[in-house]
Every structure is written in C-alpha cells, then in structure tokens.
Amino acid sequence: MTARPNVLWISLESVRADHTSLHGYDRDTTPNLDRISRRPDATVLDPVVSGSMWTPASTASMLTGTHMSTHQLGADGKCERKLLPSVETLPERLSEQGYRTGLFTPTYYIGPETGLDRGFDHVDDLSIRQEDFFGYDAATRDRIVSALRCVRGRPTTDIATLKEEITRGKNYLLERRFDRWGHDGSTAPFFAYAHVPSPHHPYNPVTKFRDVFTDEIGMSAAEAAELSESVYTGTDGIRRRMARGLDLSDSEWEAITALYDAEIRYADSTAGELISTAASLSRRPLVIVVTGDHGDLFGELGLIGHNLVLHDGLTHVPGLVVGIDDVVDDSETVTQHIDLTRTVGAVTGVPTEEFEGRDIRSAQRPYAISQRGVAHLDEYTKHDERFDTSRFFEAPFTAVRTPDWKYLENDERAVLHDLPDERTDVLDGHPAVADELSGYIDAEGIDWGAEERAESVEFSEQARDQLRDLGYLA
C-alpha cells in the first residue's frame, strides 16, 4: 500500500502570474519556484484562475473546494458573515482520515473569525512570542530585534511604526513556526496550509530585498517606498484615489511595480524555505501546491489593489504542483483553485464528491469560474460623483474564463471579452460564444440565493487594526 503523502499548500498573497519568472516574467522574481519547477515530478499550471479577487473568498474556495456562491464567504462584499456551517472543508476531511493539520496565517481573514480554521488542529496567527527568540544567544537576539525594527531602512521611533515593521517580519515567523510544528515528533501524515503575507500593498520590501530591482527605476528605494505608502493609504484612501482618477506618472508606476516585484522575490524566498523544511520532515511522499490567492492591479481599468473586477490581473495567478503524477496541462485546459482542492483530496484518499472542481489529472477542464460578491459602489462615488460606476457590476456576478474568452454574467447583464482585451465588450459580435459560456454557468448550478445563514463575523479591535492597515476596513 502506498504511504499517504504529506501535503504543503502555499498561498502567496496578492501575486499575479505575469509578475513571476515562473510564468515568463522578465524579472527574476521567483528563482526558488523556477528551480523547483524543473523537478521531474513538478508541473507548472497555466492559466490558474483564482476563485475570487480577495483573500477571504478565494481562500474559502481553496479550503472547501467550492465556489463563493456555495460557501458564501465574502459574497456580501464585506466579509461580515462566516463560512456556511454546512460546507465541509478539506482539512476537516483530512483530519477525519488521521492527518494532522496546520494553518499558518498572518491575517484574521483566514482563521477562527471567519470559520476558515475548521478542521485544523493547529492554528498559528504568526504573532510574535517570546519563544521565537529561544535558542539564540543575546547578540543574535539583538540583531533579530534590530532587523525587525529597521526593515524599512530606519530605526523605529514609535509604536505604530514598530507594529507595521513586525507585521512585515511575519515571513520569518512563518518559516520558523512551520519548522517547529513540523519537527514535533509526530509520525502521522500532515496537511499544512501556509499563507505567505507578502506582497500585500503598500509594497515596502524588507531591507534584504528592497534594492533587488530598484536600479531599474529613476528614484531611490526609500523614495519608492515613500511613494507606495502615499498611494496605498487604507481602504478609504485607495477608493478616493481611484474615484478621483489615478494620476501617477510612468516613472511612479515603474517604482511601485519594482517594489511589488521585490516583495514577490521575498515571498519566493519564504516559499523555498517552507518547501525545503517540508521535504526534510519524513520519508513520506510530499505533495506541494503553490498558487496565489489573487493578484493586484496597477492601473488596469483605472484601478489599483484588488477591487471591483475579475480582471486577469486579479484572477490569473501562479500555479505549481509537485508530487502529483499524470497532470494534464495543455493549451486547451484551464485550472481553477477548486480543481487543486479536489485533486489533493483524491491523492490523499478523502471523499471528494462535494467538491465542485475537477481533478487536474483530467483533460476535461475547458473553463474556470471566478466570482465576486456585492460591490459597494457608493463608497467610491462619495469621493467623486463623476466616478463611472456603469463599468462595474454592483450585484454578485460570475466570470467564466477559457483560454481565449472571458464571460461575465449576473441577473442584470452580461459582458464578453476577447482576451487579452478586457476593456471591450464583444458580446454582440459573438452571441454563440456567449451562449456557450453562459451554459457553463448553468451546468455548474450557480445559485447565489443560499437559504442558510451563517454567523456574523466578530473581529477584535486588534484584528480590525490589522485589516485597516491592509486596506480592507475604513
């Protein structure tokens, strides 16, 4: 009997595929993933399409193997309701089969507050603890603290700044905590879900990676970081900037994307460390999944961050699997997050009937589904009534992505894009294509009208502070 594999699932925060060298980007942003992708048991999947355009919804899809319209997390556009209790998670099924399960999360959107901790017997929120410095001599402890205090290139002078700098040191904590958990002496197979916190905006890489790409821009790394901080000023500030029109120059966009790319390089380093640790833990086979929870926009459709749309800049994410045989990845196939969930369930031997994806070892994967919940457009127009909301769906909608087309639909209207152009609606010229893609939505049984009602999410003040810092709460 083949030993049940260990599974390491790495979710990269805000990483779009076209900014990774894994997927052909001209900057060397993912050298570790590139190296791992050359292993004979590795497959680079392209395109991989995220379940949604922000963390709670897309993570819920990955952990439950279901569309947002099924699990409902984030469908309200504000994440005020938990994961539906009737939707079982992959970790719950794995735990029932004897797996030990670990969740490593830097955000309150992935944890007890939202119900995404269900099935995990170990949950680590990556908060700093005294034991993180055990095992180091005094001089080394001082250097670590100094590094945490200077990740932005200057000594910390106030508590608020220190809080932000410590947050940016969570990649280090993630590596260390996963290593400690992995070496706890257990012989049971494990499933670990690790959410790598960078490169969420505002992009401001740690010192080691800050200058990786700044020699290609017309300002210093410190100036670029200051620019990034001024652009991404919390939820309300970001909405205000978009509502009033993005007025950044080409050189400013170049500076911001250079920092974003450096953050991806940092995330890649962390992914490499996690994979190296996982490979050292036992002689069991190891299955690795690496993807992004969503991407980020840099002026496409007049938007920044991850807001309002299901543009490929948000939904086309990296995809790498290791340790799974007979994966089908050709020009006719498209992979969804929930396909990865179903496949991991299959290779670990848990029931997969309730998962809505398709096994990536199947060639029958002609399309992918993404969904967005309610858009609160009044939160943009309050800053400028001239903001053109007619471009956006207000009610929840579903996007169908094929290799060549993207079709968007809800009860109000439908739009068809001939990729890569996502500005022009070509539905009138291609009604047969629209009908075919609409049929895929019907076949999926998409229904936004869940009768079940989930519990309200209750965030602590500490959680709200973090989500404000990340630009999610006003």
Model pLDDT for residues 11-48, shown as the tens digit of each residue: 999 999 999 999 999 999 999 999 999 999 999 999 99
DSSP 8-state class, residue 195: E
- What is the pLDDT averaged over residues 260-276? 97
Looking at the predicted structure, is the pLDDT value of residue 157 above 70? no
Looking at the predicted structure, is the pLDDT value of residue 183 above 80? yes
Most confident range, picked from 147-156, 167-176, 190-199, 441-450 = 190-199
Q: Measuring CA to CA, how many Å separate 6 from each of 60, 191, 201, 221?
A: 21, 6, 32, 40
Looking at residue 314, its amino acid is L
Asked if the structure places residue 311 within a domain, the reply is yes
pLDDT for position 305: 95
Contact of 21 with 213, CB cutoff 8 Å: no
Looking at the predicted structure, is the pLDDT value of residue 72 above 90? yes
DSSP 8-state class, residue 352: -
pLDDT tens-place string over residues 334-352: 999 999 999 999 999 999 9
pLDDT for position 170: 83
- Kindly indicate the confidence band of residue 282, based on its pLDDT and cuts at 50, 70 and 90: confident
**What is the reported pTM?**
0.89
Mean pLDDT of the chain: 89
Asked if the structure places residue 248 within a domain, the reply is yes
User: What is the percentage of the chain residues whose pLDDT exceeds 70?
Assistant: 86
* Listed residue (75, 70, 42) closest to 57, CA to CA: 75
* Listed residue (243, 241, 212, 245) closest to 228, CA to CA: 241
CA 372 to chain centre: 14
CATH number at residue 116: 3.40.720.10
Handedness of CA 297, 298, 303, 305 (dihedral sign): positive
Contact of 122 with 111, CB cutoff 8 Å: no
pLDDT for position 291: 99
Pull the structure tokens for residue 49: 């399409």
Looking at the predicted structure, is the pLDDT value of residue 471 above 60? no
Given the DSSP bridges, would you call strands 319-322 and 42-44 parallel, antiparallel or unpaired? antiparallel
* Listed residue (341, 346, 337) closest to 318, CA to CA: 337
- Kindly indicate the confidence band of residue 161, based on its pLDDT and cuts at 50, 70 and 90: very low
Asked if the structure places residue 233 within a domain, the reply is yes
Asked if the structure places residue 392 within a domain, the reply is no
Asked if the structure places residue 383 within a domain, the reply is no
pLDDT tens-place string over residues 315-334: 999 999 999 999 999 999 99
Domain that holds residue 321: 6-369+448-469
- How many angstroms separate the CA atoms of 359 and 342, rounded? 6
pLDDT tens-place string over residues 418-463: 999 999 999 999 999 999 999 999 999 998 886 666 676 665 565 5
| Total count of domains within the chain | 1
Asked if the structure places residue 151 within a domain, the reply is yes
Looking at the predicted structure, is the pLDDT value of residue 220 above 80? yes
Asked if the structure places residue 212 within a domain, the reply is yes
pLDDT for position 164: 44
- How many angstroms separate the CA atoms of 329 and 332, rounded? 8
- What is the pLDDT averaged over residues 115-123? 97
- Kindly indicate the confidence band of residue 163, based on its pLDDT and cuts at 50, 70 and 90: very low
pLDDT for position 153: 44
Asked if the structure places residue 474 within a domain, the reply is no
